[in-house]
Amino acid sequence: MLAGVAYDVEAVRKHFPALDEGAAHFDGPGGSQVPDVVAEAVAATLVSAIANRGSVTTAERRADEIVRGARQAAADLVGGVPDGIVFGRSTTQLMYDFSRALGKNWAPGDEVVVTRLDHDANIRPWVQTGATVRWAGFDPVTGELPVEAVTSLLTDRTRLVAVTAASNLLGTRPDLPAIAAKVHEAGALFYVDGVHLTPHTPVDIAALGADFFGCSPYKFLGPHLGFVAASPALLDTLHPDKLAPSSDAVPERFELGTLPYELLAGTTAAIDFLAGLVPGEGDRRARLLGSMRALEEYEESMLRLLDNGLAELSGVTRYGSPTRRRTPTVLFSVDGVAPTDVYSGLAERGVNAPAGTFYAIECARHLGLGNTGAVRAGIAPYTTASDVNRLLEGVAALRNA
């Protein structure tokens, strides 16, 4: 960030037509609202001449440029390389695809390590490979995932370790570089779920030590799809099932069928939008790092408001220690009120903060919340102090009702 450049939330909000509907959105961890420029890029692609990727007609070249542009943008966002970006329908779909491609090289007795902190998308596909599963638990009181909880499970049979970069339920950010060092010492691969982290902070997959890093543009102001970032050399060692005539090049080898060109154009637009959240200089990667740092600082200020406000309300339970390193996501419940009633009561007041387990079913159960979960409030790039106050007033009223 340029010294002294402040994050201007009102200027950012002007780009989100959906906010004119008036709700205070704390549902960002489920999917963010979308800026006008992203919708325009999607629409422009759909009404332009377009064909399958190629180099003969303008329409073919347009499709090709969109794909290459989106790979470059995604690589800039996470610090990867364009030929290491694999696009797919969703992160869940890609995790299933990669679990199959990796798992077919594993022998009986080979092991995977998964955590109870993760979204099920980074658990079940690995469990269903048939590998022997070792489960890492987290501390249900603090919400922390200690490094040793994962690394103590490594053996000479470990093939892969799957850990979230941030819990979509608690926001907890495990110490990935420390885990990665041990995973690699053991000769295993490290599959990181970056879906919940990527919208909130600068990401550098090499610094995190991730061999695979998955994320979903619809969580960071883009359209509904997913991508995985990896090194092209690693991708080249894998041979997923594919059609006979489809390309065997990396990364196309992993992309089944025709790519959604309009969504890829929207993804590039979303990443460009993120790069421009605050004024910056240099190439897109440099501007992204500055913007995401400014966004992180702003979101943390909103998180403090929310944390402090909830702490003042008796009868409200928050999960995990507030001092954890975490994304601006809060999980809470109101004593004596079902989470779904808090959710609907807030919705009646124009505050969108859903309740549930959000597919982090192991995490919810480990917290003692069973299959019901709790209420989740996530800060997004368009969240204001007034939104936070609306949420706090709503919770206070429901508590007294």
Ligand X SMILES: Cc1ncc(COP(=O)(O)O)c(C=O)c1O
226 sits near ligand X (criterion: CB under 6 A)? yes
Per-residue contact flags (x/-) with ligand X for residues 89 to 108, judged by CB under 6 A:
-xxx----------------
Q: Which residues contact 24 (CB under 8 A, 6 or more apart)?
A: 350, 351, 352, 383, 386, 387, 390, 391
Candidates 87-95, 173-181, 183-191, 285-293 — which segment interacts with ligand X by CB under 6 A? 87-95
Helix (H, G, I), strand (E, B) or coil at 72: helix
330: contact with ligand X by CB under 6 A? no
| Min separation Cβ 263 and ligand X, Å | 12
For residue 132, give the H/E element and its range.
strand 132-136
Q: How far is the CB of 160 from ligand X (least distance, A)?
A: 16
Measured between alpha carbons, how far is 205 from 118 in angstroms, rounded to an integer?
18
Q: How far is the CB of 202 from ligand X (least distance, A)?
A: 18
Parallel, antiparallel, or unpaired: how do β-strands 226-230 and 212-215 relate?
Answer: antiparallel
Confirm or reject binding of residue 217 to ligand X (CB under 6 A). no
Site string for ligand X, 113-132 (x = CB under 6 A): ------x-x-----------
Number of Cβ within a 10 Å radius of residue 381:
26
Does residue 164 touch ligand X according to CB under 6 A? yes
Q: How near is the Cβ of 362 to ligand X at its closest, in Å?
A: 12
Minimum distance, C-beta of residue 164 to ligand X, in the bound complex (Å): 6
Work out whether 168 is an interface residue with ligand X (CB under 6 A). yes
- Cα–Cα distance between 221 and 216 in angstroms, integer? 10
Is there binding between residue 376 and ligand X (CB under 6 A)?
A: no
| Cα 373 to Cα 30: distance, rounded to the nearest angstrom | 14
Half-sphere exposure of 305 (CA within 13 A, CB side): 20
Q: Which residue type is seen at 363?
A: C
Number of residues that bind ligand X (CB under 6 A): 12
Q: Name the residues that contact ligand X, by CB under 6 A.
A: 90-92, 119, 121, 164, 168, 193, 195-196, 216, 226
